[in-house]
Amino acid sequence: MEPVTVSRRLVKSPPELWAELSEEEALGRHLAGLGPIRVTRVDPETTVAWEGDRTSGTVELSPSGWGTKVILTAQLPGDAVPGPEPAPQAASPRRFGRLRRLWRRAPAAPPEPEPEPVAASDEPSEDAVATLETLEGALDALGSAHHRPFSRG
């Protein structure tokens, strides 16, 4: 299956986001909708690879203007079903006749093949939709303020 990818630029510093995403427990809270996860690989300050019972994925951080670009990717299990390959179009035969050379007409284009109906399997599965919602919710939680700035008391 195609991986589910969500990206957003958050107005937080890379170290602040790294602190929330590099720890297994904190990342597990953000991705709770995907079940229990464990961190499998960490590239300092840039990438965290994780896997769970039903899915695996990565978190990538990169500085971007006034914030940090965060890319969450999840790979769902299952083999990709390749679509049908398009049939090669037959080349039009070239005929050189006296009139054709005289008028210099282009050969008629072959008729376009009719598009095949879209199979029901091309629609995203329920797991893919739930994974997308979980990843978007994680980005929403990461981008929101966890304290009240300029408050007194």
What gap in Å lies between CA 80 and CA 93, rounded to an integer? 38
Inform me whether the pLDDT recorded for 110 exceeds 90. no
Note the pLDDT of residue 56: 92
Which amino acid type is present at position 19? A
Report pLDDT digits (tens) over 9-53: 988 888 888 888 888 898 888 888 888 999 999 998 899 999 988
pTM of the model: 0.66
Note the pLDDT of residue 82: 47
Note the pLDDT of residue 1: 65
Are 129 and 1 in contact by the 8 Å Cβ rule? The answer is no
For residue 137, report the phi and psi dihedrals to the nearest 5 degrees.
-65, -35
Least confident of 16-30, 106-120, 127-141: 106-120
Inform me whether the pLDDT recorded for 148 exceeds 80. no
From residue 82, give the alpha-carbon distance in Å to each of 4, 57, 77, 122, 127.
Answer: 17, 22, 15, 10, 19
Exposure of 134 by Cβ count < 10 A (0-12 exposed, 13-18 middle, 19+ buried)?
A: buried
- More confident: 21 or 122: 21
Q: What is the mean pLDDT of residues 141-145?
A: 79
Task: For residue 6, list its beta bridge partners.
Answer: 72
Domains and CATH numbers, the chain: 4-80+125-141 (3.30.530.20)
